A and B are shown apart, each in its own frame.
Chain A
Amino acid sequence: MSVYSSDSSSPGNGFSALYDRYATDVLRVSYYYLGNRQQAEDVTQEVFIKLLTAQPALIEGKEKAWLLKVALNKCRDIWKGSWYKRVVLGHPAFELFPAPEETDRIVEEQALAKAVNQLPPEFKEVILLYYYQGYSTSEIADLLQLAEGTVSSRLSRARSRLKAELKEE
């Protein structure tokens, strides 16, 4: 019996519930990574299709980690595959989709989002998982199959880069 079904009448841990809960996070992390909405949507689609086809036995509460892990793997593949496009034809501008109401910090927030997008993939991953998704360093290490020390080191170097980047602006 399939645990995750595209049938909307399936129980709460089915595709529909997981999509409603986590798809936007998957989409935004993918967008941060790739800077391309179409590609980010494709990644999100592939992640949920994998969920439906592979039917992984996920521990409750760990579903998002699995979805993000699959998404980051797919982003990495696309990133590597698009080397020529990025390097020769240029990286597409990181488009923002701001909230309609303007706040005092809007410029600052947008600058931060752009700076995160500009980080190299290995730094971007840890920053997004730590600050955006709220995972601990040990959880990130588990998710990315890295040593915890490596995660801490990457976080520290990513912070330094962001600091320098945001100061310049």
Chain B
Amino acid sequence: MNQLEHLREATDKALYGLVADRELKNRIEKEMLQRGSADRVPFFRRKLFPSLIAVSAALVLCLALLDSFRTEISLTQPQLTSISAGARKSDPAGPAGLSDRSAAIQIGEEIYQVMPEAPAAIEIRSSLGKIGDERILSSDYAPGTEVFLTSQDHIIAVRAEDGMVFLLHK
């Protein structure tokens, strides 16, 4: 293929009129100027604004996810597991010597008085209590739950529906 050895020469002749001229150079320079001015768009419009939108969207998504997660927790929370002791007075299996639970409650040797001011007791129920390390929310109490305050400032809650007793540490 001797001809191929002369491809440069052949091309120079066959494509003689095909040259990168001044016109093409001007076109490139003009295009560069246009792209350059596009690059000079203020930073907040070019980068910051879209970034802020993206970050905000991510934040909203995270909050939405957290919120649904919290709902899950609060739905499962009422399943109290740490029951200290207790039963209804009428319950034969309950601790001996349990006095009238409308006035007091006895657990083991200790007798707990009903809090004299019921609304205050409700206020206490609305605040946070603890069973072991678990935080107890007011929503954990069913309506009608009776609340007792111990001499050590512990709270005893007696659930109305089944008479179960919960010892809460304030």
- Segment with Cβ contacts to A, from B9-17, B82-90, B97-105: B9-17
- CB-based contact A28/B28 at 8 Å: no
A84 proximal to B (CB < 8 A): no
- CB-based contact A132/B28 at 8 Å: no
Q: Which one of A24, A110, A131, A166 contacts B14 once the chains associate, using CB atoms below 8 Å?
A: A110
- CB-based contact A116/B13 at 8 Å: no
A6 proximal to B (CB < 8 A): yes
- CB-based contact B8/A97 at 8 Å: no
Within 8 A of A (CB), among B1-35: 1, 3-20, 24-25, 27-29, 31-33, 35
Q: Give the distance in Å from the alpha carbon of A96 to the alpha carbon of B15 in the complex.
A: 6
Query: Whole-angstrom distance from the CB of A78 to the nearest CB of chain B?
Result: 17
Query: Whole-angstrom distance from the CB of A2 to the nearest CB of chain B?
Result: 11
For A162, the chain B residues whose CB sits under 8 A away are 1, 4
- CB-based contact A134/B1 at 8 Å: no
Q: How many A-B residue pairs have CB under 8 A?
A: 103
Main secondary structure of the interface of B (DSSP, over half): helix
Q: Which one of B8, B13, B24 contacts A44 once the chains associate, using CB atoms below 8 Å?
A: B24
Closest to A45 in B: B28
A interface residue count range (under 10 / 10 to 19 / 20 to 34 / 35 or more): 35 or more
Main secondary structure of the interface of A (DSSP, over half): helix
- CB-based contact B13/A27 at 8 Å: no
B residues with a Cβ closer than 8 A to A are 1, 3-20, 24-25, 27-29, 31-33, 35
A residues with a Cβ closer than 8 A to B are 6, 15-16, 19, 23-24, 26-28, 31-32, 37, 40-41, 44-45, 48-49, 52-53, 96-100, 103, 105-106, 108-110, 112-113, 116, 127-128, 131-132, 134, 159, 162-163, 166
- CB-based contact A112/B31 at 8 Å: no
- CB-based contact B7/A132 at 8 Å: yes
- CB-based contact B13/A98 at 8 Å: yes
Given A109-B9, A131-B7, is A53 in contact with B16 using a C-beta cutoff of 8 Å? no
- CB-based contact B27/A45 at 8 Å: yes
Query: Whole-angstrom distance from the CB of A27 to the nearest CB of chain B?
Result: 5
Closest to B27 in A: A45
Q: Give the distance in Å from the alpha carbon of A162 to the alpha carbon of B10 in the complex.
A: 15
For B3, the chain A residues whose CB sits under 8 A away are 108, 112, 166
For A53, the chain B residues whose CB sits under 8 A away are 32, 35
Closest to B1 in A: A159
Q: Give the distance in Å from the alpha carbon of A163 to the alpha carbon of B25 in the complex.
A: 37
For A49, the chain B residues whose CB sits under 8 A away are 28, 31-32, 35
Query: Whole-angstrom distance from the CB of A129 to the nearest CB of chain B?
Result: 11
